[in-house]
Structure 1
């Protein structure tokens, strides 16, 4: 239990700290809208905010081999011990009597969130280094490997939100309105 003296000491210290902070110089600098825009790149299920650009699986294969294959394996199938998870396979494993294998094709509900993840987090050691065209192409390649789009299908801001993922109905929407 606090004594009156301990409470008085705490109050005195807090008053001194508050006064010191009020007189100290400000740290950092105001953030500019352009600084925020560089990080405001989230793409949701509806595709709002997708950048201009385009790509096909055929174009994406070379990018995948150069920048993704080392971690995700040949054609997205990880043999043995891997640095990252498989991107392909697992179809039909999200059933009560099976061990689920969560890949882009078997688990992800929206193709737009694949684009978002690749854009912001890949390649692992060089995140945010791919151009919009490269992200569209790699996204198309991974979707093609899973049999979701064709190798010549053009993936862009108009076509990507229309891609129907196999597990789209496997998720229960979470109402964001807390009312």
Structure 2
């Protein structure tokens, strides 16, 4: 759990506390299945007092093992996430849906950081922009060597028409 003591910033009408730290994936309670991080996650940000609510602003960077959506090659790439979250005191009346709460002078930012990283992950990633992928016929990696497989298939209902066109 990553906790921030906000006692000092709550004493002032407008207060802000900067932070910077390095986290292991276990500290973010992330499993390899959720997000296969390959090292530390670097976090930099601040938490500010905005009257009845605390505002968390943070940037996270780390490296993630990924699998190319076209050629299935495994590679490591940098992941980045930006987080802006509101924290309301426990028991506050005007708590927004999907907002976080805190008790006393301690804010646990673990869930916000974890969710920020997971939401920032793209659904499909490519090892490189020009990735040619795998051949749908032979399964060969087109990035390594071009293949000469016939990829155009004809609907079985139209085979007779294709034969007429060849004559």
TM-score scaled to structure 1, two decimals? 0.20
Q: Which has the higher helix share?
A: 1
Q: Which has the higher strand share?
A: 2
TM-score scaled to structure 2, two decimals? 0.21
Q: Which has the higher contact order (CA 8 A, sep 6+)?
A: 1
